[in-house]
Amino acid sequence: MKNNISVQGKSNPSRRKFLALMGASSAAAMTFSPANLAASSLSSNSPYRVSKDETDELIFMSVTKLSEMIRTKKVSSVELTQAYIDRIEKVNYHLNAVVMQCFDRALEEAKAADAALKKKQIRGPLHGVPMTLKDSFEAEGVISTGGTLGRIDYVGKKDATVLARMRQNGAILLGKTNTPEFTLAGGGMRGVRTTGNIIYGLSKNPYDLTRGTSGSSGGAGSIVAAGGSGFDIGTDWGGSVRLPSSTNGIAGLKPTSVRCPRTGHIVDYGGVFDSWQQPGPMARKVEDLMLLTPLMSGPDGMDAAVVPMPWPDPEQIDIKKLKVAYYPSNLIADTAEETQNTIKQAAKWMEEAGAEVTEDMPLEIFTELGEIRRELVSGDAWAFLKRAGDLHGSKTLSESIQNRLDNGTPISADRYSELLTLQDKNRTRMLQWFQKYDVILCPTTSTPAEEIDQGIGSEWTSSKPGASYCGPYNTTGWPVTVVRGDTNGTLPVGVQCVAHPWREDVSLAVAQYLESRSGGWRRPMI
């Protein structure tokens, strides 16, 4: 392995040769053209994927395998739906992950799915497969709070686009999963390190009930890991798919920015932070992310930012031809030894596969992106949070959010404009640095799941888990897959597999290979 890390912005050999490298015919430079991308798109791909899952217990099987079993009548949708309901009723008392259920409706839909199959009518690749959904998404006929008191009795009038697409392809909704108020991880209750809000309370980690789930899709991560759902859909504004995927030991994907519509989410499309937010699937196996993401993607006529990009096939990626950068620590967050060792092991596995592996990271850019992001998000004195509260009738906000509103200080319009310009300049710098590589391996968060109770007054900062590892890839909008990478630990440690814009195929292919080496998701003791 090579080492190209530059500490405190100092130059290194790879940077001194930057212009030459930009002209070199690397794998990244050769394969990221629109023409080549289109050639490997979904048009040559069947949505009915073949499962590689060897799991033999029904509720823990991959969605891909379950969908095959339903279509071939090896299991009925009713049988599977009831199995998940039974599992939720067994574990949810301990986890507090599913906060609103629609079991009766789910069973009726399962019966209809089985009846349709007898007539050889298949709605899609998810025919009869149960799912859960993050409570920040609207679901028709189901209470959808977004964790805020103003919507404590709000019944969804229309499915969010991503849910509508899952149901159109045959999925069955079991219920909603817990999220902090307005999906602000750490924003539900001060002093705790888990998903929680003042309506439903705190969610817990299935591997250790004294530990948190991370957030903001923490209920999703917890119940999928515990085998109470085939899959869930989260959202990622600053790591909210990736962090709970890592902490709960499952697979999750933050797609490229503006690939999937945000319509029907409580933090909707548009605004200054529009490009940071992206829905993404969460499941036990990487193969399920390959199945689910294309079904979620593409314009819906509402979210104006979404573009109709083709879906590249991960099966076409040759791992041994990839150029890999990795960093076990970003030198910003205090990163645990087991986390660093997991990343080093992942890099070694890639090297064993034949990939060209180099330890490298753009520390100076990471530092600047973090500073810009922190100043931008509070630059209007959290006025965007007040607008969200007003919009949803939230006269009583959680203590953490109210504290931000009470103590926020706005910056000048000139400074705000300058920050947006600096953010875009650093996006360009990130792209330039990344031209040398096809994929980045790095921590998702600096430690495994933390203890839930951190004490009142304990706040999230750049040195805390997740903030400095996930945020840069929301700012850039690059696709990132998280997969469990540890092999010996009790608490899961996830690896981020970061790829170029629109190259989910590279990210997913690498994640699936790492999953084959680490074993990926493992059943919790609960």
| Three state DSSP letters for 431-470 | HHHHCCCCEEEEECCCCCCCECECCCCCCCCCCCCCHHHH
Instruction: Answer whether residue 68 shows pLDDT above 70.
Output: yes
| Over residues 233-244, mean pLDDT | 97
- Give the bridge partners for 78, in sequence order: none
| DSSP 8-class letter at 114 | H
Residue 192 φ/ψ region, left for φ over 0, alpha for ψ in the -120 to 50 degree band, beta for the rest: beta
Instruction: Answer whether residue 6 shows pLDDT above 80.
Output: no
Q: Which two structure tokens, joined as six digits, stand for 351?
A: 């090297």
Cis peptide before 25, with omega less than 30 degrees from 0?
no
| Over residues 323-345, mean pLDDT | 97
pLDDT of residue 459: 52
| Over residues 59-68, mean pLDDT | 98
346: Cα within 13 Å, side-chain hemisphere: 35
**How many of the other CB atoms lie within 10 Å of CB of 25?**
7
Q: Which two structure tokens, joined as six digits, stand for 77?
A: 């949708």
| Over residues 431-444, mean pLDDT | 98
Assess contact for 340 and 308: CB atoms under 8 A.
no
Instruction: Answer whether residue 254 shows pLDDT above 50.
Output: yes
Please report, as a single letter, which amino acid is at residue 516. S
Dihedral angle computed from the Cα positions of residues 163, 167, 169 and 174, in that order, rounded to the nearest 10 degrees:
100
Instruction: Answer whether residue 442 shows pLDDT above 60.
Output: yes
pLDDT of residue 389: 87
pLDDT of residue 14: 38
What pTM value is reported for the model? 0.91
Assess contact for 347 and 358: CB atoms under 8 A.
no
Residues in Cβ contact with 17 at an 8 Å cutoff, skipping those fewer than 6 apart: none
pLDDT of residue 38: 32
| Over residues 334-362, mean pLDDT | 97
Least confident stretch, 257-266, 386-395, 422-431: 386-395
Instruction: Answer whether residue 11 shows pLDDT above 50.
Output: no
pLDDT of residue 4: 79
Q: Which has the higher per-residue pLDDT, 7 or 88?
A: 88
Interval 273-297: pLDDT, tens: 999 999 999 999 999 999 999 999 9
pLDDT band at 465 (very low <50, low <70, confident <90, very high): low
pLDDT of residue 40: 34
Distance CA 346, CA 423 (A): 30
Residues in Cβ contact with 358 at an 8 Å cutoff, skipping those fewer than 6 apart: 1, 2, 3, 4, 14, 323, 324, 325, 326, 436, 437
Residues in Cβ contact with 305 at an 8 Å cutoff, skipping those fewer than 6 apart: 258, 269, 270, 274, 275
Q: Which two structure tokens, joined as six digits, stand for 238?
A: 């600053």
Tell me, rounded to whole angstroms, the distance of Cα 410 from its chain centroid.
Answer: 30
Distance CA 172, CA 512 (A): 26
Cα angle 178, 61, 207 (rounded to 5 degrees) comes to: 50
pLDDT of residue 15: 35
Q: Which two structure tokens, joined as six digits, stand for 209?
A: 């009930």
- Residues annotated catalytic, as ranges: 134, 216, 240
> If we measure between CA atoms, which residue out of 443, 469, 433, 492 comes closest to residue 328?
443
| Over residues 6-35, mean pLDDT | 36
Give percent of the chain with pLDDT exceeding 70: 88
| Over residues 218-232, mean pLDDT | 98
pLDDT of residue 27: 37
Instruction: Answer whether residue 463 shows pLDDT above 70.
Output: no
Distance CA 195, CA 223 (A): 13
pLDDT of residue 455: 59
| Over residues 140-163, mean pLDDT | 96
Edge-first strand order for the sheet with 251-254 is: 2-3, 356-359, 323-326, 439-443, 494-499, 480-484, 251-254, 278-283, 231-236
pLDDT, the chain, mean: 90
pLDDT of residue 12: 42
Assess contact for 201 and 96: CB atoms under 8 A.
yes
Instruction: Answer whether residue 31 shows pLDDT above 60.
Output: no
Q: Which two structure tokens, joined as six digits, stand for 45?
A: 């791909």
Assess contact for 211 and 451: CB atoms under 8 A.
yes
pLDDT of residue 92: 98
Q: Which two structure tokens, joined as six digits, stand for 249?
A: 């030991």
Least confident stretch, 184-198, 251-265, 369-383, 494-508: 184-198
